[in-house]
Amino acid sequence: MDRGQTSLEPQAKGPCVIAPVRAVLRLRRRVCVLRKRRLLQLGTEPDTGTGALGSSGSSGALRADLDQPKFFTFDSLTELSSRTPRKKRRRRSRVVLYPETSRKYRPRTERQSRAQRCLLLLVAIVGFQVLNAIENLDDNAQRYDLDGLEKALRRSVFGQPAAVGRIMALLRDYLATHVHSHPLLLALHGPSGVGKSHVGRLLARHFQAVLEDGALVLQYHARHHCPELRPVQDCRKELAQRVADVVAQAEAEEKTPLLVLDEAELLPPALLDELHGLLQPQRSHHFHNAIYVLLSGAGGVEITQFVLRNASRMLPPHLHSAGNTQTEEELHSSLRELLAREHPLWNTAAIVPFLLLDKPDVVNCFREEMAGEGFFPEQALAEQLAEQLSYYQVAGHEFAITGCKQVVAKVNLLQHKPAKAEP
Ligand SMILES: Nc1ncnc2c1ncn2[C@@H]1O[C@H](COP(=O)(O)OP(=O)(O)OP(=O)(O)O)[C@@H](O)[C@H]1O
């Protein structure tokens, strides 16, 4: 041991200094070699740019870059900008809350074509004219106070609600305008005493009042104006002349005249022919604007039979609008068939049947007549007077055989009762 120690000591002093120096040198050399090798590696390999090696790699590349001659190109900038992480812009919320009723888009400001503008103008003009025409229609109907006429008829004509309704509907329709292609022909048919002449008189009175010219209402009574002894051709000429005068005057005044011909069943065929000719559309236009009302007992028998046959189906007047329409239609068509066989004039007519009057209607006739003659319209007295008339008794109805025909005479008798002798 000692020998070994002693032999080692002198040797140990020399290498003791040199060996670490050598080791250090060796290590340095080794490090240099490694560095060089790494530098060479980095010069050939692409920059991975990750971790510690990456940083050393990039430094190597930078060093290599520094060795390269520098030229400015925009590529480097775009490269840089693409490499630099973009600052994330905060996206603004695009949701906009609109009120329910407003538009959710900006109005378009497209230029309208001229054709489109013309079209709009045309539509506006047509709309204005339509409105104007509607206003004119109302004006024409208002001139004749048809509401007033309807009230008067409903108040004064008993037991004929369907007839009054039909007359009013036809008049309203016709008088809605002043320009016509043909006249209106109303043909009121029914048995005696049911109110045909009464309605004719009410119409004439109303039109005289609203037209403010009595000359525009012609009332023609067959028996009075064309008695049996008078030559028919004279009657015909006279009727034609009278009608021509009335329609000419009405044309000048821009009004619609009314021509009431009573007892039409007594008109000779020549006069019916004349009337038929007056109604033709070939006549000059002022003949088109006129209302003819023919009152006739023709068809009265058929109407009486119809009412008696359908008495159980007949509704009381206050329920009438609820529906007698099917029964009425049957009556209209059978009457038209019957009358058209007599003269073609009836083909162009609006036929209005007047039905038999029930006992309560007759009582109303008495009360009306009594009031008109200055008597107190006592119900009991009116019923007593109505009791004196004759009736068809069918299905719980009592239909007056002569309607209200005898009412005037009976009330006149009341008037002529001898006054009580004064004591
Ligand atoms: N429906 C009725 N409503 C009110 N009054 C009526 C009705 N029917 C008749 N009258 C009264 O009876 C009278 C005679 O009636 P109107 O002359 O109108 O009968 P008509 O149907 O024309 O009969 P005719 O064909 O015989 O002339 C009238 O003056 C009127 O006072």
The reported pLDDT for the residue numbered 6 is 40
For residue 194, what pLDDT is reported? 96
Closest CA to 162 of 292, 332, 317, 310: 317
d(CA 234, CA 228): 12
Q: Which two tokens stand for residue 368?
A: 């009306």
CATH number of the structural domain spanning residue 194 = 3.40.50.300
Residues 304 and 364 grouped into a single domain: no
- 163 and 289 within one domain: yes
Cα(219) to centroid(ligand 1), Å: 17
Give the DSSP letter of residue 354: -
Supply the residue whose CA is at minimum distance from atom 18 of ligand 1.
Answer: 195
Residue entry with tokens 């039909």: 166
Nearest CA to ligand 1 atom 17: 197
Residue 330 to residue 400: CA distance in whole angstroms? 23
Residue 176 Cα to ligand 1 midpoint, Å, equals: 29
> What is the predicted pLDDT for the residue at 48?
45
Give the DSSP H or E segment for 397: strand 397-400
91 domain-assigned: no
Domain that includes residue 368, residue range: 360-415
Report if residue 173 sits inside a domain: yes
In what side-by-side order are the strands of the sheet with 217-221? 217-221, 258-262, 291-296, 184-189, 350-353
> What φ, ψ does residue 66 adopt, rounded to 5°?
-60, -35
* Cβ of residue 198 lying under 6 Å from some atom of ligand 1: yes
Query: Is residue 334 domain-shared with residue 254, that is, in the same domain?
Result: yes
Cα–ligand 1 centroid distance for 199 (angstroms): 8
Residue in 157, 191, 155, 153 with CA at minimum distance from that of residue 169: 153
179 with 309, same domain?
yes
374 belongs to a structural domain: yes
Is 100 a domain residue?
no
Q: Are 227 and 263 in contact (CB under 8 A)?
A: no
Instruction: Please tell me whether residue 226 adopts helix, strand or coil conformation.
Output: coil
Q: Tell me which amino acid residue 366 is.
A: F
Residues with Cβ within 8 Å of residue 129, at least 6 apart in sequence: none
Q: Are residues 253 and 295 in the same domain?
A: yes
Burial call 350-362: b when 16+ CB within 10 Å, e when fewer: bbbbbbbbbbebb
User: Residues 379, 341: one domain?
Assistant: no
Same domain for 376 and 312, yes or no, is no
- Residue 109 covered by a domain: no
Q: Which of 325, 355, 385 is the last residue of a domain?
A: 355
Q: Which of 337, 355, 373 is the last residue of a domain?
A: 355
- Residue 209 in any domain: the answer is yes
d(CA 417, CA 423) in angstroms, rounded, equals 18
Q: Are strands 258-262 and 217-221 parallel, antiparallel or unpaired?
A: parallel
Q: Name residues whose C-beta falls within 8 Å of residue 266's C-beta, 6 or more positions apart in sequence.
A: 222, 223
Residue 200: CB within 6 Å of ligand 1?
no
Identify whether residues 351 and 364 lie together within a single domain. Answer: no
Cα 180 to middle of ligand 1, angstroms: 32
Q: From CA 9, how far away is CA 392, in angstroms rounded?
A: 173
Whether 388 maps to a domain, the answer reads yes
Q: Say how many residues make up the chain.
A: 423
**Structural domain total, the chain:** 2
401 and 314 share one domain: no
Distance CA(313)–CA(316), nearest Å, equals 10
Q: How far is the CA of 197 from the centre of ligand 1 (A)?
A: 6
Cα–Cα dist 220/263, whole Å: 9
Q: Is 403 in the pocket of ligand 1 (CB under 6 A)?
A: yes
Between the CA of 358 and the centroid of ligand 1 the distance, in Å, is 13
Report which residue type is found at 96. Answer: V
Q: Which of 198, 364, 368 to mutate to test the pocket of ligand 1 (most atoms within 8 A of CB)?
A: 198
Structural tokens at position 377:
């319209």
Among 355, 379, 401, the domain boundary falls at 355
Q: Which atom of ligand 1 is nearest to the CA of 296?
A: 25
d(CA 4, CA 1): 5
Position 347 in a domain: yes
Whether residues 282 and 400 fall in one domain? no
The predicted complex's ipTM stands at: 0.97
The residue ranges of the chain whose pLDDT is under 70 are 1-16, 42-100, 102-112, 134-138, 314-325, 415-423
383 and 367 inside one domain: yes
310 within 8 A of 355, measured Cβ to Cβ: no
Residues 221 and 163 both lie in one domain: yes
